[in-house]
Amino acid sequence: MIKLTVEGIDYEFDDQRMLVSEAREIKTLTGLTVPKLFAGVEEGDGDAIAALVFLAKKRAGEALRFSELDSLNLADVDLEVAPDHDEAVAQAAQDAQHAAGAPAQQVAADPMPPSASGTTPTDGTGDTSLPSPTGSNTTPTTSAV
């Protein structure tokens, strides 16, 4: 999600959603493909920023021509890329660990917690499985095609 403030008016632009008609219109107006549009926004390209503002305003229901943005002062556009939901959740978890004095490391959740005996339940091939004391020393075979 990209939050834009354009001349004092706030807009939100869902950058995870792009209609073919929107992409086609931006390419016709600016020559920018969708990846180049977002790269251009990051680089501060005037056409890319104007295109993003144009799409945000259109999505908000405003009727305008792209050429109306020619007089837009880029200094009157504030952009903020909001983290996606998964990133926000991960960051909140790290912040909570840090606040609680836990080491600041990424901890992967184990979907199968250990049982009381210290072994991990398996997928139904047996009651429990014990970790292998050594790794496999066999190399995988490859075939030329």
The H or E element that residue 80 is part of is: strand 77-81
Cα–Cα distances in angstroms (integers) from residue 140 to residues 94, 112, 134, in the given order: 38, 28, 17
pLDDT in tens, 86-115: 554 555 566 666 666 655 455 455 555 555
Overall average pLDDT of the 47-62 stretch: 94
Separation between Cα atoms, residue 140 and residue 107, nearest integer Å: 30
Ranges of each domain in the chain: 2-81
Q: Which two tokens stand for residue 51?
A: 């295109």
Among residues 133, 1, 94, 119, the alpha carbon closest in space to that of 56 is found at: 1
Q: Which two tokens stand for residue 86?
A: 């998964």
What pLDDT sits at residue 64?
93
pLDDT in tens, 29-39: 999 999 999 99
What pLDDT sits at residue 6?
92
What pLDDT sits at residue 85?
45
